[in-house]
């Protein structure tokens, strides 16, 4: 494994806060970054060395992007597969197309993990209203209908509680291909954030307890309560098997429920993850740095905690208006993403450490 020398250029597809924080980590290790994104307000452009505003479909744009970069990564999983496979013919793209294709499709993701011996909620693929009624009969209620693709932060999903809800649930997701998932009784949610290097070496972080409000992550905290600690080993081992089977290079995040019989896999993201933002100050090496290390062929860094306890709070929408008050707190670390305020938007986060 020959490391990419500092001074090289990392191409990042996607212009959001994850790209923004990846660019900071890359700069710290001496790399340049080039962001490609269609967004009018691409906040990653503020920290990257250069920015191209364009969509991902033009071959001319992709050729130019590839020519200017030494390795490519991406910061969100809803990018089309086609530009990734096209770029991969010209230069290394990490994580690879198999990771992206699997994580983009809830059915592919769940069957992949089930085949590896992972526990998932009972689920059925549904592509018609008749199939949805049959799936409800098989799985029972309550259940959750989730679009196959493009779901995140609770978007594209609807809960079905009574048989009367079935038709309206189908209409509310626009009759798109979906999975019906049985409702999991869980005490906590947590995530395993793992980095896998080009040589197959892996490191993973201690798992945060993740609390959601309205389907959006509100808080991640560590050390996790004992219910999570008991299921940590099994969940981390499964995440490692997933990364290996995918030939994944970079950070992989898997979300789990604490179920009665063990960890229940919910979903994966082939990228740095919101529930890992605490690692910037709360771990010896951040998830962003470990992602950059992995895709550049560098040795992975220590994932241990730097504090006795760590808490990350997301600043959503109007929360950002009072953000500066955190600066008065000892050992609180404020990150603002440079976005204009909109309700429900992830504007920044704060990490509090107790050492």
- Which positions lie near ligand AMP, rule CB under 6 A? 121, 144, 151, 154, 181, 183-184, 189, 212, 215, 255, 266-267
Q: How many whole angstroms separate alpha carbon 279 and alpha carbon 293? A: 15
Cβ neighbours for 319, distance < 8 A, ≥ 6 positions apart: 347
- Could you tell me the smallest distance in angstroms from the CB atom of residue 189 to ligand AMP? 6
For ligand AMP, which is the closer residue by CB, 30 or 140? 140
For ligand AMP, which is the closer residue by CB, 259 or 338? 259
Tokens found for residue 170:
């189908």
For ligand AMP, which is the closer residue by CB, 65 or 190? 190
Residue of 229, 262, 269 whose CA lies nearest to 246: 269
For ligand AMP, which is the closer residue by CB, 305 or 313? 313
Q: How many whole angstroms separate alpha carbon 16 and alpha carbon 78? A: 13
- Could you tell me the smallest distance in angstroms from the CB atom of residue 350 to ligand AMP? 21
Residue of 141, 131, 123 whose CA lies nearest to 176: 131
Q: Using CB atoms within 10 Å of the CB of residue 108, give its burial: 0 to 12 exposed, 13 to 18 middle, 19+ buried.
A: middle
Alpha helices in 226-284 (DSSP H): 226-246, 279-282
Q: How many whole angstroms separate alpha carbon 159 and alpha carbon 277? A: 29
- Could you tell me the smallest distance in angstroms from the CB atom of residue 267 to ligand AMP? 5
- Could you tell me the smallest distance in angstroms from the CB atom of residue 316 to ligand AMP? 15
Q: How many whole angstroms separate alpha carbon 167 and alpha carbon 69? A: 49
For ligand AMP, which is the closer residue by CB, 133 or 212? 212
- Could you tell me the smallest distance in angstroms from the CB atom of residue 121 to ligand AMP? 4
For ligand AMP, which is the closer residue by CB, 197 or 276? 276
- Could you tell me the smallest distance in angstroms from the CB atom of residue 156 to ligand AMP? 8
Beta strand 32-37 with 9-13 is parallel
- Could you tell me the smallest distance in angstroms from the CB atom of residue 82 to ligand AMP? 24
Handedness of CA 137, 139, 145, 148 (dihedral sign): negative
Residue nearest to ligand AMP according to CB distances in the complex: 184
For ligand AMP, which is the closer residue by CB, 3 or 215? 215
Tokens found for residue 52:
């191209």
């Amino acid at each position: 494994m020959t490391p990419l020398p500092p001074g090289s250029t990392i191409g990042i597809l996607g212009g959001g806060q994850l790209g923004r924080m990846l660019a900071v980590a890359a700069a710290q290790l001496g790399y340049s970054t080039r962001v490609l994104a269609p967004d009018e307000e691409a906040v990653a452009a503020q920290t990257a060395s250069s920015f191209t505003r364009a969509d991902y479909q033009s071959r001319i744009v992709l050729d130019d992007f590839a020519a200017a970069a030494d390795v490519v990564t991406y910061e969100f999983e809803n990018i089309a597969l086609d530009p990734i496979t096209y770029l991969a013919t010209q230069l290394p793209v990490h994580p690879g197309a198999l990771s992206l294709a699997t994580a983009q499709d809830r059915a592919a993701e769940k069957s992949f993990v089930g085949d590896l011996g992972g526990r998932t909620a009972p689920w059925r693929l549904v592509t018609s209203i008749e199939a949805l009624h049959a799936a409800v009969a098989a799985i029972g209620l309550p259940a959750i209908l989730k679009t196959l693709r493009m779901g995140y932060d609770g978007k594209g999903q609807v809960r079905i509680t009574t048989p009367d809800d079935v038709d309206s649930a189908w209409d509310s997701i626009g009759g798109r291909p979906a999975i019906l998932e049985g409702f999991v009784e869980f005490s906590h949610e947590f995530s395993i954030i793992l980095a896998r290097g080009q040589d197959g070496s892996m490191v993973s972080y201690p798992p945060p307890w993740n609390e959601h409000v309205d389907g959006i992550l509100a808080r991640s905290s560590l050390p996790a309560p004992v219910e999570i600690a008991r299921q940590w080993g099994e969940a981390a081992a499964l995440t490692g098997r997933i990364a290996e089977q995918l030939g994944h290079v970079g950070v992989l995040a898997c979300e789990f429920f604490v179920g009665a019989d063990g960890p229940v896999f919910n979903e994966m993201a082939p990228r740095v993850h919101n529930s890992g933002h605490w690692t910037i100050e709360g771990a010896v090496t951040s998830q962003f740095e470990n992602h950059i290390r992995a895709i550049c062929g560098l040795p992975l860094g220590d994932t241990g905690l730097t504090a006795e306890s760590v808490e990350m709070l997301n600043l959503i929408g109007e929360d950002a208006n009072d953000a500066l008050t955190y600066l008065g707190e000892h050992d609180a670390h404020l990150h603002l993403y440079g976005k204009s305020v909109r309700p429900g938007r992830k504007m920044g986060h704060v990490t509090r450490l107790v050492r």
